[in-house]
Structures are given as C-alpha cells and as structure tokens.
Structure 1
Amino acid sequence: MLAQGMLSAAVRRPAGRGFSIVFLLLLLILAALPGCMSTQVRQVEDDAGKPVVMSGTTVVLIEPDIELYAVGAGGMAEPRKAWTEAARKNFPDAARQRLEAVGFTLKPDFYLPKDAGPENHMRQLYLLNQAVSISILNYGRPGALRNKHDKFDWTLGPGVATLREATGADYALFTYVRDSYTSGGRAAMRVIGFLLLGGDIGGGQQLGLASLVDLRTGQVVWHNLLVDQAGDLRDEAGAQETAGDLLKGIKR
C-alpha cells in the first residue's frame, strides 16, 4: 500500500523542523496506547506467519529526523538546540552498533543535501516514508481497516532505486524521534495536578518511528513505534537504550 495521499501534505514541511504533521498524527494515534514504555513491531511474514528471513546484508542509516524539547510549566514544548545536536550524534552511533551486532554491514550514513527542497527526489522519499509509517500505524491498530490480505504489506515504490544507486545498500533504515523533557516548573505543576486534580497533567515523552526498507523492491520489511515516558537521547547511555527499544526485533 502506498500512502501517496499523505505525501503531498508532508512535502510542504521540511524534515526535522519542529512538531510536524507527522508528530501531530502520532499524538492522535497514541491516545489509544498504554503509557510508560511500549513498542509496536510489525514485519513481513511468510504464509506460515513467521518472519521472512532477510536476503540482504548491507544497510544504510538515513539521516535521522530528531528534535528534542523542554516542556515548560504551561505545557508548551520549547526546542533545545544543544540537546538536539547531542541526540543527533548519540543516536546514530548507538543505532550503528545495534545493526552491526545483529549481523548487518553498514554503508556510510546518507544525509540529505542541505539545499534539498520539496522537489528533491531524495527528500520526497524521506517524507514519503514518514507518511507510510503513519498509515501503517493507522491501519495496523486493533479493529482498524486492514488491507484485503490482512498482511503487513507496505511499499515506498520503485523510486527507492535511486537511493540504492546512491548508497549501494540492500536496505535503508529510516528513523524519526521527538523527545521532550519536563522542566522544573512543569514538574511542580504535575505535583499540583496530582494534589488538586487527582491526575497527571503530563510531562515529557519520547516518540519514535523506525522502518527498514528493501531498496531493491521498495518493500517495508520491518517497522516499529516506540512510546517511552523515560527515554533520554541526551547522553550515550540513554541513546543506547533508545536504540535498543526502537530497533527491537531487527535481525538477519
């Protein structure tokens, strides 16, 4: 299934710029999910319902779309540049280690050209993957409309061939993370909320999407959603934990 209807909306927003349409759609989907830490791993299976063994050995890590925020006393999320820069270094390092540990050979990371606009084919693939991820979550929920075969069957289409030519990899790993942390003022407000309202008014939260795409066919062979109220990408140890959770189930 190809989520072309969502692509036209997505390409109007540069990747990695604040709370995008992807983030807003994630919030709607997350309303039906439990708190604390949870994952939703989906992958291609054979007729017997067993995961299909991956036929390739090389993978390229596509530039992660990562933004970190501080949640103020009033609940507004304020971007933190230093945190984001640290996360953009820590997470790829941890993800590479995770992929190598399960048997993949890493190709050099792929970064979008800084001047790549909405018409750039690579950026369109980048954003199309986010749109497809949202569709996977939307139609993969319990009780949601499934495809006619009731199987995990999603693709980015033949256009991924250009990414294979540029990287030489069999697979591409796309990742998207929005991480927020409770400020001192917000922490105080949460205590007041418990005392006066009898409930939690909410604080920081980590939201992550990851998908592994076969660059020979365009097929999404593995996908995961991570929701964690305690994840932290600001240091190496936290990035290792997040990478382990977000890339859960990837193996050769």
Structure 2
Amino acid sequence: MLAQGTLSTAVPGRVVRRFPAVFLLILLILAALPGCMSTQVRQVEDEKGKPVVMSGTTVVLVEPDIELYAVGAGGMAEPRKAWTEAARKNFPDAARQRLEAVGFTLRPDYYLPKDAGPENRLRQIYLLNQAVSMSILNYGRPGTLRNKHDKFDWTLGPGVSDLREATGADYALFTYVRDSYTSGGRAAMRVIGFLLLGGDIGGGQQIGLASLVDLRTGQVVWHNLLLDQTGDLRDEAGASETAGDLLKGIRK
C-alpha cells in the first residue's frame, strides 16, 4: 500500500522535465508554509483590497498537465501510466463540479491537437501560461512586487483571443499537478531514517498550480499554488478533495 509523505529529492526529476526551475521556487515557498497542506491564493483586487467581481460567466477547462509517480526505496520517482490515466479523468470531472458549484457555465473542455507543434498559436498560449505562472511564483508573493505596491497584475496578453475564438469561453482554467506516492520500500527506508538519522528522508508530495485567465484581456484574475502531503488523484474522492483545495477562492 502506498502512502504520501514529505517532499523528496525525487520530485525535481518529474517537475523540471515539464516545468523548468519551478521545483526550486516551490521549495522556497514550501519552507515558509506550515502544515501538511498549504495553498497560496492570489487574485485581482480592487482599490479597497477586495477581490474583483468577475464580469463573465463561462469558463473552459484547458487540458490539465498531470503526471503521477511512485517513489521507490532509493528515492527515484517512477511514472505510473495507469495512475496518471485515472487522474486525468478524475481531476477534470471534479474540477468541473467545483466550477459549476460556484456559478460558472462550462464550455466543453479544450485539448490541444495531438499534431500541434511549437508554431501552433494555441500551444504557445498553453506554454506562455506556464511561464507566467512561474513568474507569479517567483515575484507574485507579498513583498516581492514593491514597484507595483504588491498589486497582483499579470497577463498573457491579447493573443489569448485565439483560445476564446476556439472555445467561446470568457475564462480559461489552466492546471498543473505532479503527484507522487511512497512505495512500501520507501516507507521502510523512512522508518530507518527516523531511527538512525533522526529525520525524515522524504516520500511523496502533491504539487499543483492553477490559474484562471480572462480570455478577453489576457489578465490572470486568480492563481493558486497547492502543496499537499496527503492528496490523492487516483480515485474520485481524492480528486474531489484536491480540486477543492487547488481551486480554492475561485468565485464569480
């Protein structure tokens, strides 16, 4: 049976491959956040510091970037195809339920064409969102935007209109999740680590990023980082819990 634990050195291999340098940023943030589950929600606010009321009602869930891994006894993260396939079904279902519960009208999910190369405009938007999300992690925390007086102000630019034309939605939800689980061998090594070294050598960790983008302006209106030691996307109940945590604070 697999169980999740603290962040291990195996995580960089699976995160950096698809999201360069994000692991180091998350490590820095993780050090400042208490507890086994943490979120860091940022959103556009008005002059009084109140969340801006969204002017649209429709949202499209863009193809989630999800991969699941098992952390072996030696700390290496091994991809698990069956787990990933289950998560790629469970999470979108749970995310749609969450969005509908807060009053959004959903457009059909958008998946990039399999033959979409680097010159494809919609793929460029997809990758641009990842780059902007990295910048938010690095510079969007309180105290890091002194020139903007800590104002949350990020945009993908007017090019997102291509995605609006393709989906008919007012907003696009981009999500990224890497989830790892401790194998029996790794769990045994953690016990040995506690006994012999007096500390935890690390196990599994759930890392999630999500951003809601206004497709009329390109503005990122909401962003969240999720760090969880117990989340699980392999079943519907766990996916529902993760979706609730990752989409925390989204409202019309």
* TM-score scaled by length of structure 1: 0.90
1:41 and 2:50 correspond:
no
Give the drift of 1:17. 9.6
Q: Residues 148 and 27 (structure 1 numbering): CA distance in 2 closer, same or farther, change over 3 Å?
A: closer
Seen in structure 2, the aligned counterparts of structure 1 residues 23 and 137 have a Cα distance that, compared at 3 Å, is closer
> How big is the shift at 1:228?
0.1
Partner of 2:58: 58
Matches within 5 A, 1:29-178: 29-34=28-33, 35-178=35-178
- Bigger shift: residues 24-33 or 64-73: 24-33
Contact 1:139 1:146 in 2 (8 A): no
- What is the letter of the counterpart of residue 237 of structure 1? A
1:161-218, Cα deviation, whole Å (9 max, x unpaired): 0000000000000000000000001000000000011111110000000000000000
CA contact 1:43–1:152 (8 Å) conserved in 2? yes
Partner of 1:8: none
Distance in 1 (alpha carbons) for counterparts of 2:154 and 2:227: 22
TM-score using structure 2 length: 0.90
What is the Cα deviation at residue 28 of structure 1?
3.8
| Unpaired stretches in structure 1, ≥5 consecutive residues | 1-15
* Residues matched between the structures, number: 237
- Indicate the SS of the match to 2:201: coil
The 3 A distance-change label for structure 1 pair 136 and 144 is same
- Alpha-carbon distance, 1:31 to partner: 4.5
Name the SS for the 1:21 alignment partner.
Answer: coil
RMSD: 1.6
Cα drift, residue 18 of structure 1 = 4.9
State the match for 2:206 in structure 1.
206
Q: CA separation in 2, counterparts of 1:207 and 1:231?
A: 9
Instruction: Tell me: CA distance 1:75–1:100, structure 2 relative to 1, closer, same or farther (3 Å).
Output: same
Residue 32 of structure 1 deviates from its aligned partner by 2.7
Task: State the secondary structure of the residue aligned to 1:99.
Answer: helix
Structure 1 residue matching 2:181: 3-state secondary structure: strand
Which residue type is aligned with residue 48 of structure 2?
A
